[in-house]
C-alpha cells in the first residue's frame, strides 16, 4: 500500500486512519486465534455451519476503508490496496473452508462442514463443492478416519493448529487433485454473531422444514424447529438451525441449505456496507478475530474482497460430492459397516480419479452447467450396454442425459457428437437471430471423448425417429472410445447388490435398459450390459 494514495479522507475519523495503518502491516489479522484450546473428548457429531460465510467476512473487513473514500470504485480501491493472491497453474485461487462447533462444545474441532472453493481469475467465476464429513480418508500418519476428524487428530498430535490445517489441506488435495493456497476455519460463535451484526439475512426457502428433534442447546433435550417455504428473514440463530437441521433431511440437503445461506450473506453484506458505522465495523472485525483462523494476510483479504465481491450469482457454481449415483456428484457409496469397524463412512465407488475429474471439470469449466442441454447417448458399437453405462457415468458429471439406446449400426469406428447451434438472446426485437456452438460440446470432447468427430448434420434416420426434437446433443459411441483406455466404467455395476440389497442376488431384465426417461430414476435399476 506504500504507493496507494487516498485522495479524500474523512477527517472526522481518526480510528479509520488507525485501520489503514494496521492494513499496511503484513501481520496476519487472525494470529490471536492460531492456537485454539485443545479438545480431548468427542461425544457428538458436531455442528454443521454455513461454509462460505467467511468470504463474506472478507468483504466486511474492507468496508471500513471505503468509509474514508469518496468518488472511487470500491473494488478498484480494494485491489489496488491489496496484495496479489496466490494462484495455481490454471490461474485459480483455491480455498479450503471449514466450519466447526463452538470453542467450548465437545467435539469443537470436528470440521463437520468442508468446502472446496475456487476463484478463476480469467473467467471471473467461483466454484464451490461441498465435501461430506463422513468421507473416509486413509491416513498412515494419524490413522484412517472420517475427514471431519482429520484436523482434530492432527491438531491433537502436532499441538499446532496452522500445521494441522496445512495437513488437512494436504489430505484434501489427494481427493480433489487441486492445490489449495489458503484455508479459512470459522466456528459456530462467529456464524451467529456475524449474521446478527449484519441485521439478519433473507433466504428463499425452497422446501419447508419441520424438525421436532432439533438439539436444545448443549442439553440432551430437543426442541421443534420449523420454517415455511418462501422468502424468510433469518437472524443468526435461525440461520444456524436452518443450516444444521438434519433429523428430517439429509447431510446433503443441509449442504444445499448452507449454500443458500452463503449467497444470502453475500447479498446482505453488500446491502449493509453503506450503512455500517464505525462502531459496528469494529465489532465485526473483533468477531472475525475471535472466530476465524486463516492464512490470508490482511492485504490478501482486501484483494479477495475486491476481486470476488461483485461476482453475480449466475457465475457462482455450487455443487455437492455425495452418494446418490443417479445425480450430479454421486460418486460415493457406503461400504459394508463391518469393513470399517462398524462405522458409517463414505468412499469413492471404483477409481478415485473419477472424483478428481469431477473437481477438475467443475473448477475449470463450469459454464456448461448454465446450458443444461438435453443429451442422448446411442451405442453404435458391439460393446453391449455401453450407452447405458455412459449415461450412468455422465449424469454424475452433471450432464442432462434424457435418453439412451442403440445407434444405427454396431460398426462405428469413430465416436460422433451431433449438436444443434444455440440461438443467442436478441438485444432488440428486430435484430437478426445469431447462433453459437454449445460449450457443452467442447466439454464432452475435452473431458470424455477426445477423438470424437463433431457435426451439426444430424443423420436423417435419427430425424425420422424424432431424436433431433428431443435432444440438443446426440452422442453416437464408436469403437475408438469403447476400446480405449479412456472408456469410463461404472463401478456401481459391481457394487449394486452390496449397496441396495446385500442379502439378495437380483435378476436382470434387459428391457430395463431401454427406458426413455432415465432422469426420473430414484434408485437405479439393476445395471445391464445390453441396450
Say which DSSP state 345 is in: -
Summarize the confidence of residues 134-148 as an average pLDDT. Answer: 89
Within 10 angstroms of residue 176's Cβ, the number of other Cβ atoms is: 21
Within 10 angstroms of residue 253's Cβ, the number of other Cβ atoms is: 16
Cα distance between residue 330 and residue 328, in whole Å: 6
Sheet holding 113-120, edge to edge: 292-294, 182-187, 92-100, 113-120, 125-131, 316-320
User: Given a cut of 90, is residue 108 above it in pLDDT?
Assistant: no
Rounded to 5°, the CA angle 6-9-15 comes to 110
Give helix 161-176 / helix 353-364 axis angle, nearest 10°. Answer: 100
Domains, the chain, in order of start with CATH, read 45-320 (3.40.630.190), 366-520 (no CATH)
pLDDT of residue 103: 60
5: left (phi over 0), alpha (psi -120 to 50) or beta: beta
Say how far residue 286 (Cα) sits from the centre of its chain: 28
Buried b (16+ CB within 10 A) or exposed e, 50-77: bbbbbbbbbbbbbbbbbbbbeeeebbeb
Cα distance between residue 7 and residue 189, in whole Å: 38
pLDDT of residue 289: 75
What percent of the chain clears pLDDT 90, i.e. is strictly above it?
46
- Share the mean pLDDT of the chain: 78
Do 114 and 172 meet the contact criterion of CB atoms below 8 Å apart? Answer: yes
CA quadruple 173, 178, 181, 183: dihedral, nearest 10: -50
Span 285-316, pLDDT tens digits: 777 777 888 898 877 877 787 777 678 888 98
Cα distance between residue 154 and residue 109, in whole Å: 10
Cα distance between residue 272 and residue 274, in whole Å: 6
Strands (E), 191-313: 201-205, 209-215, 222-227, 230-234, 292-294
pLDDT classification of 107: cutoffs 50, 70, 90: low
Do 516 and 498 meet the contact criterion of CB atoms below 8 Å apart? Answer: no
Cα distance between residue 239 and residue 259, in whole Å: 12
Do 361 and 397 meet the contact criterion of CB atoms below 8 Å apart? Answer: yes
Backbone angles phi, psi at 205, to 5 degrees: -75, 115
What is the longest distance spanned by two Cα atoms in the chain?
A: 80
Span 67-82, pLDDT tens digits: 333 333 444 444 544 5
Give helix 53-66 / helix 251-272 axis angle, nearest 10°. Answer: 10
Strands 416-419 and 453-455, how do they pair?
parallel
Span 415-430, pLDDT tens digits: 999 999 999 888 888 8
Burial class (CB in 10 A: 0-12, 13-18, 19+), 423: exposed
pLDDT of residue 72: 39
Within 10 angstroms of residue 527's Cβ, the number of other Cβ atoms is: 19
pLDDT of residue 514: 32
Return the higher-pLDDT residue of 444 and 6. Answer: 444
pLDDT of residue 503: 57
State the first-to-last Cα distance of the chain, in angstroms, to the nearest integer.
64
The lowest-confidence range among 19-33, 161-175, 247-261, 402-416 is 19-33
User: Given a cut of 70, is residue 387 above it in pLDDT?
Assistant: yes
User: In 397-454, which residue ranges form alpha helices assigned H by DSSP?
Assistant: 439-447
User: Given a cut of 80, is residue 371 above it in pLDDT?
Assistant: yes
Amino acid at each position: 500500500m506504500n504507493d496507494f494514495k487516498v485522495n479524500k479522507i474523512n477527517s472526522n475519523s481518526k480510528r479509520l486512519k488507525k485501520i489503514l495503518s494496521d492494513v499496511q502491516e503484513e501481520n496476519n489479522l487472525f494470529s490471536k486465534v492460531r492456537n485454539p484450546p485443545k479438545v480431548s473428548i468427542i461425544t457428538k457429531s458436531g455442528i454443521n455451519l454455513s461454509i462460505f460465510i467467511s468470504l463474506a467476512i472478507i468483504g466486511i473487513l474492507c468496508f471500513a476503508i471505503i468509509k474514508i473514500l469518496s468518488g472511487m470504485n470500491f473494488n478498484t480501491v480494494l485491489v489496488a490496496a491489496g496484495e496479489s493472491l496466490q494462484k495455481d497453474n490454471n490461474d485459480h485461487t483455491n480455498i479450503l473452508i471449514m466450519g466447526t462447533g463452538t470453542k467450548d462444545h465437545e467435539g469443537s474441532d470436528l470440521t463437520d462442514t468442508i468446502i472446496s472453493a475456487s476463484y478463476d481469475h480469467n473467467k471471473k467465476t467461483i466454484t464451490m463443492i461441498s465435501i461430506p464429513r463422513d468421507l473416509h480418508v486413509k491416513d498412515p500418519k494419524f490413522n484412517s478416519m472420517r475427514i471431519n476428524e482429520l484436523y482434530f487428530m492432527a491438531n491433537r498430535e502436532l499441538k499446532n493448529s496452522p500445521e494441522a490445517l496445512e495437513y488437512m489441506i494436504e489430505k484434501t488435495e489427494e481427493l480433489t487433485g487441486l492445490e489449495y493456497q489458503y484455508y479459512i476455519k470459522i466456528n459456530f460463535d462467529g456464524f451467529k454473531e456475524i449474521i446478527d451484526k449484519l441485521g439478519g439475512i433473507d433466504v428463499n426457502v425452497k422446501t419447508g422444514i419441520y424438525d421436532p428433534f432439533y438439539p436444545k442447546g448443549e442439553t440432551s433435550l430437543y426442541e421443534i424447529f420449523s420454517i415455511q417455504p418462501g422468502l424468510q428473514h433469518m437472524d443468526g440463530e435461525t440461520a444456524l438451525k436452518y443450516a444444521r437441521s438434519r433429523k428430517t433431511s439429509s447431510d446433503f440437503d443441509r449442504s444445499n441449505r448452507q449454500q443458500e445461506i452463503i449467497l444470502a450473506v453475500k447479498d446482505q453484506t453488500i446491502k449493509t456496507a453503506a450503512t455500517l458505522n464505525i462502531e459496528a465495523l469494529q465489532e465485526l472485525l473483533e468477531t472475525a478475530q475471535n472466530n476465524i483462523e486463516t492464512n490470508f494476510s490482511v492485504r490478501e483479504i482486501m484483494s479477495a474482497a475486491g476481486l470476488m465481491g461483485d461476482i453475480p450469482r449466475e457465475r457462482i457454481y455450487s455443487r455437492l460430492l455425495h452418494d446418490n449415483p443417479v445425480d450430479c456428484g454421486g460418486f460415493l457409496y457406503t461400504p459394508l459397516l463391518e469393513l470399517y469397524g462398524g462405522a458409517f463412512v463414505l468412499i469413492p465407488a471404483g477409481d478415485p480419479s473419477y472424483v478428481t475429474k469431477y473437481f477438475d471439470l467443475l473448477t475449470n469449466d463450469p459454464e456448461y452447467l448454465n446450458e443444461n442441454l438435453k443429451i442422448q447417448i446411442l451405442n453404435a458399437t458391439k460393446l453391449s450396454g455401453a450407452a447405458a453405462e455412459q449415461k450412468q457415468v455422465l449424469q454424475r458429471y452433471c450432464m442432462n442425459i434424457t435418453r439412451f439406446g442403440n445407434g444405427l449400426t454396431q460398426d462405428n469406428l469413430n465416436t460422433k457428437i451431433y449438436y444443434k447451434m444455440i440461438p443467442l438472446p436478441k438485444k432488440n426485437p428486430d435484430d437478426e437471430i445469431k447462433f453459437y456452438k454449445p460449450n457443452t460440446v467442447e466439454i464432452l470432447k475435452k473431458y470424455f471423448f477426445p477423438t470424437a468427430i463433431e457435426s451439426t448434420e444430424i443423420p436423417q434416420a435419427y430425424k425420422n425417429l424424432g431424436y433431433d426434437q428431443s435432444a440438443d446433443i446426440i452422442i453416437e459411441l464408436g469403437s475408438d472410445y469403447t476400446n480405449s483406455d479412456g472408456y469410463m466404467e461404472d463401478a456401481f455395476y459391481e457394487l449394486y447388490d452390496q449397496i441396495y440389497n446385500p442379502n439378495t442376488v437380483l435378476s436382470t431384465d434387459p428391457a430395463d435398459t431401454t427406458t426413455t426417461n432415465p432422469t426420473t430414476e430414484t434408485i437405479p435399476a439393476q445395471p445391464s450390459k445390453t441396450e
